[in-house]
């Protein structure tokens, strides 16, 4: 969809990196789970046919440390008292807030959305104009239990309608195009250690920009099947030796650039072998069990990632900030209804399962989920069963410890739209970050968010 | 005044190869030897005065054999430029275009027009070795830049400071060097007057300077008062006392990984000022400097790595996979991460290294030998020699050579005395050696 949309090249950047990883296997020997290995191999492919969690750990920003130190740091941190965990879930593309929480009680809603107005779904007890999208039954259920804080019109003044720019603002925690570290990265720089890359974990192919640090290492875990090092016409024992050869290329070098390349070769090799204990069984069964059932999806690893995340927390891995992208297509310039429903359903049902999982494991008081999107969409629908880029959108905090009290009112469609017909923000994402930092993560927001003093501190934690 | 030091040591194929990596995209077969024959002065002269462009080698096409559509098809812009890097007879011209693309880092993420991005790219190609003053004027009025940093949103009624700020912070002076917030605001006023229209199906169009949109009032910039226009704004930056030091330091960093010593820095600044902001003499002086030949290596950027492998074996651009492969490795052309450009000190991590593994895999795939039908010697030394020959015998250090040989010996030992294994393992080991050579430290840094 985004490739055909002149306005949405900004989406392609990260989208394309995801696809790149998926396409890396295209045209290679068809060696997948359940398919026969090539003749003559006879070797387990455990080290590079990874499924489920721990397929690959990529460490960022730790070039001065050897892997041994990183492993030791992870082990040491795992034994220390538990830190609070913030999980950032990104709805990429600009989710339509007026469908996520449809203002069915606003008399202008059906006029602005003659084709796309949502019907049904449960009304919010705090504002009965607003209804949960029918596909978001999972979040509605948690909301009923007081475990969801709703922000019905969040953003910032003078909203930028570029995916790239607005997303960047949210990622860096400031309306600045020049900041190169993420807001969670700066939090980790303030409280993290130099030897624990798992403190900031991106559950995607590449590092989530919100986690980009200046001082301490962070990591990304690629999805299943994605950390592979195949070579055409090399298999079996020779392939195993070749993979070991990557480590051999990591031998010490005196030239700094050669040393850098060699060091990263060694990292690649060590990480590959380090993760062997996480390997699933040969039939693909994960190395962990979940106490609850997660949604099944052929299209998205999102539920699997959350299940794995709960298992990692239960195993005592020293995580502090985690980021991942929600499933679904949110840049809905056309054919909005179907695209939105399926993504929202899988997202909401998975978050419900994750919360239940944490509760069953006794971890629910340690974990808070922040759901966000770079902007909302235009109030007036367009001519192709879709909506264009807007301003304020919706965001949620999910967890046992949230207040469950709506933050910022829904401004209404008569007086709540700006001159471009976009929803005005009634809460500021930077204020939410400041409160999360101080009330949940326990660090002075002034160390992390530029001009933190100029933002309110809404009460977010009960 | 003292000049810039020049390298006086041996200038053989090894030095010429390093020069071709720094000033271009690595040697094609025989190129390093040919350049070495010219001597250092002749080589730098040839690179800085290359004559009309000739494109050498097979024309680019996509995986279906169709010509690239760089204005229209997603990712074809990247491959179009990569092809120029691979086939050009003017490597330094293309390399300077890459320098300016990073320096004036404009992303199609904000421009949303491959046509306008390629127009800017041609500007860098045509003027990248001319005068910086002229280049900055052209960039300031360039449509892609006007969109990227809101130059055509900046009017006398509604000033937009985006370009004014970056012009000083990133393009000419450096953050906080010799200007303040007041200068940003005043520069923004001076830069007003650019506009464009928007047409459905075409997008942004009809870029122009409209005096009616320009703020004609008096501005105070760097302490100077005047009714400055955009040309005055550019001139004030280029003649600012802190500009030459910024330009020299930044330009140098693209060619040499260690900072210039004070004498070199000073001499290059004088050269730059003396020649009226001409770039060619400064670049030529850097290319002759001893630090380039005697100092440490530089990690290749992903695009340099890819173009270099293709040039090494004489392969053209025959798939558009290079776009996503180079992005995996951290560098998609026309999409720098932000206006600050790529971070040239952080190309390698375990994710981007894996991108390079896949680049090498895609370079090698058409040539890979089938273990069922090919023959290779069952001898580690001979296999390594053969795989090195495939890559036209790059110079490897003893450490890497030893690592590759140890791999080959271990792989062959696994075959034992089983006949089919001895035959097939030799071929697979040869394939794997090609791949390991391509990702070895020596091929990642030059």
Q: How confident is the model at residue A79 (pLDDT cuts 50, 70, 90)?
A: low
pLDDT score at A20 = 35
- Rounded to the nearest integer, the mean pLDDT of chain B is 95
Q: Give the pLDDT mean for B190-213.
A: 93
Q: Note the pLDDT of residue A454.
A: 96
Q: Which of B253, B344, B351, B375 to mutate to test the interface with A (most CBs of A within 10 A)?
A: B351
- Residue B44 CA to residue B52 CA, distance in Å, equals 17
Taking only residues 207 to 226 of chain A, the set having a beta carbon closer than 8 angstroms to any beta carbon of chain B reads: 207, 220, 222
Query: Token digits for A340?
Result: 């939105």
Q: Which of B328, B428, B436 sits opposite A245 (nearest CB)?
A: B436
Residue A31 in tokens: 């060696």
Q: Are B74 and A264 a contacting pair at CB < 8 A?
A: no
Q: Which residue has the higher pLDDT, B257 or A72?
A: B257
Total CB pairs under 8 A between chain A and B: 191
Give me B271's structure tokens: 């050269």
Q: Has residue A326 got a pLDDT over 50?
A: yes
pLDDT surpassing 80 at residue A58: no
What pLDDT, on a 0 to 100 scale, did the predictor assign at position A9?
42
Record: contact B338-A17, CB cut-off 8 A: no
Chain A positions in Cβ-Cβ contact with residue B445 (cut-off 8 Å): 255, 257-258, 260-261
Residues A154-212 have pLDDT tens digits of 999 988 877 778 888 999 999 987 788 899 999 999 999 877 778 898 887 677 889 98
Q: State mean pLDDT over B175-196.
A: 93
What pTM did the predictor assign? 0.69
Which residue of A23, A231, A247, A263 is the best one to mutate when testing the B interface, meaning the one whose CB has the most B CBs within 10 A? A231
- 3-class SS of residue B79: helix
CB contact under 8 A, B410 and A239: no
Residue-by-residue DSSP string for B137-183: HHHHT-HHHHHHTTGGG--SSS---HHHHHIIIIIIS-TTSS--HHH
A1 touches chain B (CB under 8 A): no
Q: Given this model, what pLDDT does residue B160 score?
A: 86
Of B169, B324, B425, the CB nearest to A23: B324
Q: Do A10 and B110 touch (CB under 8 A)?
A: yes
What percent of chain A is modeled with pLDDT above 70?
77
| pLDDT of amino acid A311 | 83
Separation between Cα atoms, residue A111 and residue A102, nearest integer Å: 13
- Name the more confident of A158 and B120: B120
Average of pLDDT values for B39-62? 96
Between residues A37 and B30, the one the model is more confident about: B30
Task: Indicate the pLDDT class of residue B93, thresholds 50, 70 and 90.
Answer: very high
Instruction: Report the C-alpha gap between A4 and B74 in whole angstroms.
Output: 9
- Proportion of chain B above pLDDT 70, given as a percent: 100
Nearest-angstrom CA–CA distance, A413 and A393: 13
| Residue pointed to by tokens 């989530």 | A208
Q: Are A245 and B327 a contacting pair at CB < 8 A?
A: no
What is the rounded average pLDDT of the residues A390-398? 97
A229 touches chain B (CB under 8 A): yes
% of chain B surpassing 90 pLDDT: 91
Q: Which of residues 364-423 of A touch B (CB under 8 A)?
A: none
Nearest CB to A262 within list B203, B298, B441: B441
Q: Do B339 and A177 touch (CB under 8 A)?
A: yes
How many CB atoms within 10 Å of residue B138?
17
Residue contact B404–A58, C-beta within 8 A = no
Q: Where are the alpha helices (DSSP H) in A53-136?
A: 67-78, 97-100, 109-112
Q: Is A59 on the interface with B (CB under 8 A)?
A: yes
Cα distances (angstroms) measured from residue B443 to each of A268, B262, B329, B357, B438: 17, 32, 15, 12, 6
What's the whole-number average pLDDT of chain A?
A: 81
Residue from the list B351, B404, B432 with its beta carbon closest to the beta carbon of A231: B432
Q: Which of B126, B130, B154 is nearest to B140 (CA)?
A: B154
Residue B291 has pLDDT above 70, yes or no: yes
Residue-level pLDDT at A8: 47
Section B122-151 average pLDDT: 97
**Do residue A233 and residue B428 have CB atoms under 8 angstroms apart?**
yes
CA distance to A58, B352, B366, per residue, from A370 (Å): 24, 28, 47
Q: Which is more confident, A409 or A227?
A: A409
Query: In this complex, which of A235, A251, A261 lies closest to B428 when CB atoms are compared?
Result: A235
Chain A nearest-CA distance from B52, in A, is 34
* Cα distance between residue B384 and residue B391, in whole Å: 11
**A174 or B110, greater pLDDT:** A174
Query: CA of B153: how far to CAs of A223, B113, B157, B231, in Å?
Result: 42, 17, 10, 18
Pick from A236, A242, A264: which is nearest to B436 by CB?
A: A242
CA gap B128, B111 in Å, rounded: 21
Q: Which of A297, A305, A387 is nearest to A345 (CA)?
A: A297
Nearest CB to A237; choose among B299, B414, B442: B414
Q: Do A178 and B324 touch (CB under 8 A)?
A: no
Dihedral over alpha carbons B253, B258, B261, B262 (to 10 degrees): 50
Convert B255-322 into a string of H (helix), E (strand) and C (coil): CCCCCCCHHHHHHHHHHHHHCCCECHHHHHHHHHCHHHHHCCCCECCHHHHHHHHHHHHCCCCCCCHH
Q: Which residues of A touch B425 (CB under 8 A)?
A: 237-238
Cα(A163)–Cα(A7) distance, integer angstroms: 9
Q: What is the SS3 assignment for B192?
A: coil
C-alpha dihedral, B138 to B142 to B145 to B149, nearest 10°: 90
The structure tokens 């204020």 sit at A431
Closest approach of chain B CAs to the CA of A224, in angstroms? Answer: 15
Q: Contact A229/B296, CB-based, under 8 Å?
A: no
Mutual angle of helices B380-390 and B419-438, in 10-degree steps? 40
Give the mean model confidence (pLDDT) for residues B172-178. 90
Find the range with the poorest average confidence among A53-57, B30-34, B67-71, B387-391. A53-57
- B354 with A264: Cβ contact below 8 A: no
For residue A353, pLDDT over 50 is answered with: yes
The answer to whether residue A341 scores a pLDDT higher than 50 is yes
CB-based contact A231 B431, cutoff 8 Å:
yes
Tokens of B140: 């300031």
Q: Which residue of B has its CA nearest to A253?
A: B399
Tell which phi-psi region holds residue A375, choosing left (phi > 0), alpha (psi between -120 and 50) or beta: beta
pLDDT tens across A218-274, in order? Answer: 887 764 335 668 899 999 999 999 999 999 999 999 999 999 999 889 878 866 665
Q: Is the pLDDT at B443 greater than 80, yes or no?
A: yes
CB < 8 Å to B410, chain A: 241, 244
What residues of B are in contact with residue A56 (Cβ under 8 Å)?
Answer: 350
Beta bridge partners of B307: none
Q: Answer whether residue A2 shows pLDDT above 50.
A: no
For residue A123, give the H/E element and its range.
strand A123-124
Q: Is the pLDDT of residue A114 over 90?
A: yes
The alpha helices in A35-105, defined as continuous H runs, are: 67-78, 97-100
A335 or B196, greater pLDDT: B196
Do the Cβ atoms of A253 and B441 come within 8 Å?
yes
Q: Which residue has the tokens 């429903």?
A: A341
What tokens does B325 get?
């492969």
Q: What is the largest CA-CA distance in chain B?
A: 89
CB contact under 8 A, A23 and B298: no
Q: What is the predicted pLDDT for the residue at A25?
A: 25
pLDDT at A74 over 80: no
Report how far residue A290's alpha carbon sits from residue A307's, in angstroms, rounded to the nearest whole number: 7
The answer to whether A157 faces chain B, any CB pair under 8 Å, is no
Substitution target in B354, B409, B410 with the highest count of A β-carbons within 10 Å is B354
Tell me: pLDDT of A26 over 60: no
Give A395 to chain B, closest Cα distance, Å. Answer: 25
The stretch B277-304 carries a mean pLDDT of 98
Decide if B414 and A241 are in contact by the 8 Å CB cutoff.
yes
The mean pLDDT of A131-148, rounded to a whole number, is 98
pLDDT > 50? residue B355: yes
A87 shares contact with chain B (CB less than 8 Å): no
- Band (B345; pLDDT cuts 50, 70, 90): confident
Binned at pLDDT 50, 70 and 90, residue A6 comes out as very low
Asked if the model's pLDDT at residue A279 lies above 70, the reply is no
Res A164: pLDDT: 73
If we measure between CA atoms, which residue out of B150, B31, B357 comes closest to residue A28?
Answer: B357
Contact B368 A232 (CB under 8 A): yes
Do the Cβ atoms of B338 and A244 come within 8 Å?
A: no
Q: Taking residues B151-161, what's their average pLDDT?
A: 89
Nearest CA in chain A to B203: A6
Residues in B touching A251 (Cβ below 8 Å): 399-400, 402-403
Judged by a CB distance cut-off of 8 A, whether residue A10 touches chain B is yes
Q: Is A257 on the interface with B (CB under 8 A)?
A: yes
Q: How close A7 comes to chain B (CA, Å)?
A: 7
A254 → chain B, closest CA residue: B296
| pLDDT at B415 > cutoff 50 | yes
* B161 pLDDT higher than 90: no
Residue range A357-386, pLDDT digits in tens = 999 999 999 999 999 999 999 999 988 888
Which of A321-325, A332-336, B154-158 is least confident? A332-336
Q: Is B337's pLDDT higher than 90?
A: no
**pLDDT, tens only, A89-105:** 999 989 999 999 999 99
Mean pLDDT over residues A328-348, rounded?
A: 92
Helix (H, G, I), strand (E, B) or coil at A402: strand
- pLDDT of A7 higher than 50: no
pLDDT in the model for residue A53: 32
Cβ-based contacts of A24 with chain B (< 8 Å): 328, 358
User: Whole-angstrom Cα distance, residue B338 to residue B7?
Assistant: 36
Which residues, other chains included, contact B77 with Cβ-Cβ below 8 Å and sequence gap of 6+?
B70, B71, B108, B114, B117, B118, B333, B334
Taking 70 as the threshold, does the pLDDT of residue A388 lie above it? Answer: yes
- Of chain A, the percentage scoring pLDDT greater than 90 comes to 57
Q: How confident is the model at residue A72 (pLDDT cuts 50, 70, 90)?
A: low
Using an 8 Å CB-CB cutoff, list chain B residues near A6. Answer: 112, 203
């Amino acid at each position: 969809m985004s490739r055909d949309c002149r306005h949405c090249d900004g989406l392609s950047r990260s989208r394309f990196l995801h696809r790149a990883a998926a396409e890396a296997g295209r045209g290679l020997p068809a060696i997948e789970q359940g398919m026969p290995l090539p003749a003559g191999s006879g070797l387990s492919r455990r080290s590079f046919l990874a499924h489920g969690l721990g397929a690959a750990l990529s460490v960022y920003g730790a070039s001065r440390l050897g892997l041994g130190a990183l492993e030791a740091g992870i082990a040491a941190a795992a034994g220390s008292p538990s830190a609070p965990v913030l999980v950032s879930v990104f709805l990429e593309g600009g989710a339509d807030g007026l469908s996520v929480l449809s203002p069915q009680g606003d008399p202008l809603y059906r006029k602005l959305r003659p084709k796309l107005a949502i019907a049904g779904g449960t009304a919010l007890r705090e504002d009965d104009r607003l209804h949960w999208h029918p596909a978001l039954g999972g979040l509605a259920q948690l909301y009923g239990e007081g475990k969801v804080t709703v922000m019905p019109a969040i953003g910032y003044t003078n909203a930028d309608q570029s995916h790239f720019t607005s997303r960047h603002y949210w990622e860096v925690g400031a309306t600045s195009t020049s900041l190169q570290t993420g807001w969670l990265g700066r939090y980790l720089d303030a409280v993290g250690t130099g030897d624990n890359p798992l403190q900031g974990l991106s559950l995607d192919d590449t590092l989530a920009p919100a986690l980009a640090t200046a001082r301490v290492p962070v990591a990304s875990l690629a999805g299943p099947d994605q950390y592979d090092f195949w070579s055409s016409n090399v298999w079996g024992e020779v392939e195993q030796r070749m993979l070991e050869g990557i480590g051999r290329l990591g031998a010490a070098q005196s030239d700094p650039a050669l040393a850098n390349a060699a060091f990263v070769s060694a990292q690649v090799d060590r990480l590959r072998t380090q993760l062997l204990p996480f390997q699933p069984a040969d039939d693909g069964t994960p190395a962990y069990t979940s106490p609850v059932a997660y949604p099944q999806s052929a299209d998205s690893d999102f539920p699997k990632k959350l299940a794995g995340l709960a298992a990692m927390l239960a195993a005592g891995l020293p995580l502090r900030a985690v980021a991942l992208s929600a499933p679904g297509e949110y840049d809905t310039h056309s054919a909005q209804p179907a695209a939105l429903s399926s993504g929202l359903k899988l997202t909401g049902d998975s978050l419900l399962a994750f919360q239940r999982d944490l509760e069953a494991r006794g971890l629910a008081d340690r974990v808070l989920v922040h759901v966000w999107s770079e902007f909302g969409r235009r109030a007036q629908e367009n001519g192709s069963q879709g909506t264009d880029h807007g301003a304020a959108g919706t965001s949620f905090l999910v967890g046992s410890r949230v207040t469950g009290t709506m933050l910022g009112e829904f401004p209404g469609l008569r007086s709540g739209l700006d001159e471009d017909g976009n929803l005005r923000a009634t809460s500021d994402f930077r204020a939410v970050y400041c409160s999360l930092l101080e009330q949940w993560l326990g660090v002075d927001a002034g160390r992390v968010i530029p001009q933190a003093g100029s933002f309110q501190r809404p009460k977010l934690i009960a | 005044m003292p000049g810039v030091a020049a390298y006086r040591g041996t200038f053989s194929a090894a030095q010429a190869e390093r020069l071709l990596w720094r000033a271009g995209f690595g040697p094609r077969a025989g190129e390093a030897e040919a350049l070495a024959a010219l001597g250092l002065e002749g080589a730098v002269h040839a690179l800085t005065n290359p004559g009309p462009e000739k494109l050498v080698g097979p024309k680019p096409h996509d995986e279906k054999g169709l010509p690239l559509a760089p204005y229209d098809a997603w990712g074809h812009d990247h491959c179009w430029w990569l092809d120029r890097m691979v086939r050009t007879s003017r490597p330094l011209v293309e390399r300077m275009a890459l320098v300016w693309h990073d320096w004036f880092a404009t992303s199609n993420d904000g421009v949303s027009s491959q046509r306008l991005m390629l127009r800017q790219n041609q500007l860098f190609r045509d003027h990248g070795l001319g005068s910086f003053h002229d280049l900055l004027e052209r960039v300031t009025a360039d449509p892609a830049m006007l969109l990227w940093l809101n130059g055509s949103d900046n009017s006398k009624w509604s000033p937009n400071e985006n370009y004014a700020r970056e012009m000083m912070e990133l393009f000419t002076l450096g953050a906080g060097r010799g200007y303040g917030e007041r200068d940003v605001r005043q520069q923004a006023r001076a830069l007003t007057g650019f506009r464009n229209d928007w047409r459905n199906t075409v997008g942004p169009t009809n870029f122009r300077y409209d005096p009616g949109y320009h703020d004609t009032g008096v501005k105070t910039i760097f302490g100077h008062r005047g009714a400055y226009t955009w040309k005055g704004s550019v001139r004030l930056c280029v003649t600012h006392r802190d500009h030459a030091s910024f330009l020299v330091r930044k330009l140098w960093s693209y060619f040499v990984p260690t900072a210039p010593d004070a004498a070199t820095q000073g001499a290059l600044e004088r050269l730059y000022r003396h020649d009226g902001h001409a770039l060619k003499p400064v670049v030529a002086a850097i290319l002759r400097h001893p630090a380039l030949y005697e100092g440490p290596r530089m990690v290749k950027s992903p695009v340099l790595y890819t173009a270099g492998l293709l040039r090494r074996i004489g392969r053209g651009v025959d798939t558009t996979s290079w776009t996503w492969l180079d992005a995996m490795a951290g560098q998609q052309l026309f999409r720098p991460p932000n206006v600050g450009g790529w971070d040239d000190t952080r190309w390698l991590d375990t994710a981007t290294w894996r991108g390079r593994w896949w680049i090498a895999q895609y370079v090698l795939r058409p040539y890979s030998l089938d273990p069922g039908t090919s023959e290779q010697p069952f001898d580690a030394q001979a296999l390594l020699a053969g795989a090195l020959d495939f890559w036209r015998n790059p110079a490897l250090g003893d450490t890497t050579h030893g690592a590759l040989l140890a791999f080959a010996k271990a792989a062959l030992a696994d075959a034992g005395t089983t006949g089919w294994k001895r035959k097939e393992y030799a071929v697979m080991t040869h394939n794997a050696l090609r791949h390991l050579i391509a990702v070895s430290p020596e091929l990642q840094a030059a």
